[in-house]
Amino acid sequence: MSGAVADVMPEQPAGVSTRETLFAIVGNPNCGKSTIFNALTGLKQKVANYPGVTVEKREGSCMSLHGKRMRLIDLPGAYSLNARSPDEAVVRDVLFGRRRDTPRPDAVVIVADAANLERNLYLTTQVLELGLPALVVLNMMDVAEAKQWRIDLAQLSQKLGVPIIPMQASVGKGLVELKAAMSRKLEAPPKHEPPMPADITRALNEVRGDLVNAGAVHNEASLLEPLYLISDHDPEHYGIKDEHVNRIAAAHDTLEKKFPGWEDTLAGARYEAIEKMLDGVLRRPEREESTFTDKLDRFLLHPVWGVVTLIGLMAVLFYTVFSVAEGPMGWIEDAFGAIGSWVEGAMPEGDLRDLIVNGVVAGVGGVVVFLPQILILFFFIGLMEDSGYMSRVAFIMDRIMGKVGLNGKSFVPFLSAYACAVPGIMATRTIASLKDRIVTILVTPLASCSARLPVYALMIAAMLPSGEVPAWTKAMILLAMYLLGTVGAFFFAWIFNRTLMKGQSSLMVLEMPSYKRPSIRQLLLFMLERGRIFLRRAGTVILGLSILLWAAMTYPKTPDADKSVNLANSIAGQAGHLVEPLIKPLGFDWKIGIGLIASFAAREVFNSTMGIVYAVQEEDDEESVHLREHMAAEKWPDGSPVFTPLVCVSIMVFFVFAMQCLSTVAVVKRETNGWKWPLFQIGYMTAAAWLASFIVYQGGCLLGF
């Protein structure tokens, strides 16, 4: 291997066994690729990020029919190897073996949507041209059959030169046949030539020679590697040296000047080749009947009924969050209470016992108790994604987003942020317009993420004890908080589009997948994975902060003082008293101030902080009570209750608008390449939170609440 080759081609990572066949699963978004990956690997999978980029990496393993272990990588969904996003760049680089953290796969499982065959064959033919051993899975055959499409699988297999496996992955149909095909030794497909006009081919050969001389590609690279590199629209160019990036950009500009619109010419030539290949393979009825998807879309995408249905589904979601989760939450509270009591009985009195009972158990328990509600929230999000309804939500919201200067594509990251703002902000990479992307990043944290849910739930429980009001009332209050965050995001997007980021908004191009029956197994795996991430966070970040907070609330100790005085004189108590003049107009006391300061790291830390605050000042002979009950009994020095319904609403409104998440700040800094936008975001959100909370509390007082 020449020096140039060693420079651009990564070596096999240490520790990778060559005895296990490594399969990459590739396909368009929404083709059922991840469903197949989950069906093959089950729980034997792990999720991480590709180093250097914020793209999720999913790996797993399964056994072949011959008892051999096979490794699988579920690559991100991509429409083309001409990367236009970091996700597609990862797919291209893994298949070319350009990533040092991931070996080049031994074989590829290409998943294609049978009901959108032409479009899916675009990526399929690109992958087959790489010459890797491969097989093609035609998924959603039931949808194609419902459209009365007839696909000659034998003829398609012959034309592509690879095995074809028909599947209906949502119900596991075809899974055994897929595993059997993967268990056999796959052969490399016959050589596929990309359909390119001769003059562009000659120009690309010249570019290839130039890039080889510069060391940007190795001298054994096919014409495809420089082709996809110079077609690259991803600004990051992970793993490519700056001088090589400049060379690649110069080659792109040269080709564009010589053949204006050459990329469109290549895309057109490829679709023509696909149409020719499908002649005699795909037979459609002369007149296509309306499908189930068409009929359902007439209602769900209706300007009025579509919006009404969306609001109704959100109301059902929040009602379920309260009505179903109440029981399991009580069990978790009782379990943590029992653990605390057991530790108190088993250990002698002292700081160590106090740390475990009032720091670790109270802090972590105050967050873990909301796990059932988090799981229900993710179940509904997974249900909407897996059924195909999520794309319809983006379409419906496009009409509304357009009024504030954004398009529906901005709503997809916003919707993701209802689970967590971090992936939501990362999802803005699919937005082509820089202006729309920055505005979307600025307003995305206003979506009420799952970390806010514990705070809302605690406040609603404090002002509306169980049994006194129906679950629907609580659900409506929670829905109001989510709507307030959404309205706030639209309002600030409208402001930013007319002040900071003036300019024309981009149009939305969105794929509408066919509706399909959600896979219960897929949903359970999704819930399990997200629940595991939540618990890992509670076991690391929350645990660490709980210990620090306990120490800040315990030291320095005041000799011969009761626990309330000791807490007031502690480091945390002094910090709470320091900010009290700023937050008292919002109805908050200094103990709530401690929670607000601590929750800047993560919103849900507010709950654990409150748990520690009241556990630390609890007298030894006082009967232990649940946090929400303790908060309901908290009094001001004049004897009036602290957590009145108005104060609870004021706290919720504050958390609707406040940033309060270091992880989000870090990812905004990384996505915007600097501190300008994250600092601006912290400033405007904190000011908005204070002002909104002030209006709620002072307005409520004036009205006599």
Phi, psi torsion values for 110, nearest 5 degrees = -95, 120
Q: Is residue 140 part of an annotated ligand binding site?
A: yes
pLDDT at res. 53: 47
At 538-558, the pLDDT tens digits run 677 667 777 887 888 788 887
Q: Given pLDDT bands bounded at 50, 70 and 90, which one contains residue 625?
A: low
Q: Is residue 51 part of an annotated ligand binding site?
A: no
Question: What is the β-pairing status of strands 69-74 and 56-63?
Answer: antiparallel
322 within some domain: no
Q: Is the confidence at residue 85, as pLDDT, over 90?
A: no
d(CA 459, CA 266): 58
78 and 226 in a single domain? The answer is no
Q: Is residue 56 part of an annotated ligand binding site?
A: yes
Q: Which two tokens stand for residue 367?
A: 């967050």
Q: Is residue 300 part of an annotated ligand binding site?
A: no
Q: Is residue 621 part of an annotated ligand binding site?
A: no
Q: Is residue 30 part of an annotated ligand binding site?
A: yes
Q: Is residue 75 part of an annotated ligand binding site?
A: yes
More confidently predicted of 115 and 505: 115
Give the count of beta carbons closer than 10 Å to the beta carbon of residue 176: 10
d(CA 456, CA 474): 10
Paired residues of 25 in beta bridges? 74, 109
d(CA 514, CA 143): 8
pLDDT at res. 537: 65
Q: Is residue 41 part of an annotated ligand binding site?
A: yes
137 and 207 in a single domain? The answer is no
% of the chain exceeding 70 in pLDDT: 84
Say which residues have a Cβ less than 8 Å from residue 78's Cβ, sequence separation at least 6: 26, 27, 28, 29, 87, 88, 91, 92, 123
pLDDT at res. 6: 37
d(CA 483, CA 486): 5
Global pTM exceeds 0.75:
no
Q: Is residue 39 part of an annotated ligand binding site?
A: yes
Q: Give the full edge-to-edge strand order of the sheet including 164-166.
A: 45-49, 56-63, 69-74, 21-27, 107-113, 134-139, 164-166
60 within some domain: yes
At 11-66, the pLDDT tens digits run 444 444 456 889 999 998 878 888 888 888 876 556 555 444 445 677 888 888 88
Q: Is residue 605 part of an annotated ligand binding site?
A: no
Q: Is residue 54 part of an annotated ligand binding site?
A: yes
Q: Is the confidence at residue 363, as pLDDT, over 90?
A: no
> Which of 589-593, 605-609, 621-625 shows the lowest per-residue confidence on average (mean pLDDT)?
621-625
Q: Is residue 33 part of an annotated ligand binding site?
A: yes
Q: Is residue 141 part of an annotated ligand binding site?
A: yes
Q: Is the confidence at residue 620, as pLDDT, over 50?
A: no
User: Which contacts (CB < 8 Å, 24+ apart) does range 609-615 have?
Assistant: 609/363, 609/549, 610/366, 610/458, 611/362, 611/363, 611/365, 611/366, 612/358, 612/359, 612/362, 612/363, 612/366, 612/546, 612/549, 612/550, 612/553, 613/553, 613/567, 615/357, 615/358, 615/362
Q: Single out the residue in 158, 183, 208 at which a domain terminates.
A: 183
166 and 76 in a single domain? The answer is yes
Q: Which two tokens stand for residue 481?
A: 């908080």
pLDDT at res. 234: 60
163 and 234 in a single domain? The answer is no
Measured CA to CA in angstroms, residue 651 lies from 481, 485, 614 at distances of 11, 14, 18
**What is the domain range of residue 241?**
198-283
Strands (E), 114-246: 134-139, 150-151, 164-166
Q: Which two tokens stand for residue 643?
A: 């957590």
Paired residues of 425 in beta bridges? none
518 within some domain: no
614 within some domain: yes
Q: Is the confidence at residue 378, as pLDDT, over 50?
A: yes
Q: Is the confidence at residue 509, as pLDDT, over 70?
A: no
> Which of 37-41, 356-360, 562-566, 584-588 shows the lowest per-residue confidence on average (mean pLDDT)?
562-566
Q: Single out the residue in 150, 183, 216 at which a domain terminates.
A: 183
pLDDT at res. 513: 78
Q: Is residue 152 part of an annotated ligand binding site?
A: no
Q: Is residue 31 part of an annotated ligand binding site?
A: yes
Q: Which two tokens stand for residue 401?
A: 């987003």
pLDDT at res. 432: 61
Q: Given pLDDT bands bounded at 50, 70 and 90, which one contains residue 72?
A: very high
User: DSSP labels for 359-391?
Assistant: IIIHHHHHHHTTHHHHHHHHHHHHHHHHHTHHH
Q: Are the C-beta atoms of residues 175 and 169 closer than 8 Å to each other?
A: yes
d(CA 361, CA 580): 28
Q: Are the C-beta atoms of residues 186 and 214 closer than 8 Å to each other?
A: no
168 and 224 in a single domain? The answer is no
Q: Is the confidence at residue 526, as pLDDT, over 80?
A: no
d(CA 482, CA 488): 10
Dmax (CA) for the chain in angstroms is: 92
110 within some domain: yes
Count of H-run helices and E-run strands, the chain: 33, 9
51 within some domain: yes
550 and 691 in a single domain? The answer is yes
pLDDT at res. 646: 93
Q: Is residue 76 part of an annotated ligand binding site?
A: yes
Say which residues have a Cβ less than 8 Å from residue 134's Cβ, sequence separation at least 6: 107, 108, 109, 110, 127, 128, 162, 186, 188, 189
Q: Is residue 545 part of an annotated ligand binding site?
A: no
Q: Is the confidence at residue 507, as pLDDT, over 70?
A: no
243 and 145 in a single domain? The answer is no
Q: Is residue 27 part of an annotated ligand binding site?
A: yes
Q: Single out the residue in 230, 257, 283 at which a domain terminates.
A: 283
More confidently predicted of 258 and 503: 258
671 and 548 in a single domain? The answer is yes
Say which residues have a Cβ less than 8 Å from residue 304's Cβ, sequence separation at least 6: none
Measured CA to CA in angstroms, residue 646 lies from 165, 555, 606, 699 at distances of 61, 33, 18, 10
Of residues 316, 313, 318, the one with CA closest to residue 300 = 313
Q: Is residue 320 part of an annotated ligand binding site?
A: no
Measured at the CA of 76, the angle between CA 72 and CA 81, to 5 degrees, comes to: 105
594 and 681 in a single domain? The answer is yes
268 and 137 in a single domain? The answer is no
Q: Is residue 420 part of an annotated ligand binding site?
A: no
463 within some domain: no
Q: Is residue 103 part of an annotated ligand binding site?
A: no
More confidently predicted of 73 and 47: 73
More confidently predicted of 263 and 218: 263
Q: Which two tokens stand for residue 1?
A: 């291997």
152 and 214 in a single domain? The answer is no
229 and 177 in a single domain? The answer is no
210 within some domain: yes
d(CA 492, CA 497): 8
Q: Is the confidence at residue 285, as pLDDT, over 90?
A: no
What is the average pLDDT value for the chain, to the nearest integer? 80
**Count of structural domains, the chain:** 3
% of the chain exceeding 90 in pLDDT: 20
> Which of 151-160, 245-254, 506-515 shows the lowest per-residue confidence on average (mean pLDDT)?
506-515
At 422-461, the pLDDT tens digits run 667 766 766 666 778 888 899 999 988 877 888 888 888 8
CATH code assigned at 154: 3.40.50.300
For 677, counting Cβ atoms within 10 Å of its Cβ (0-12 exposed, 13-18 middle, 19+ buried), the class is middle
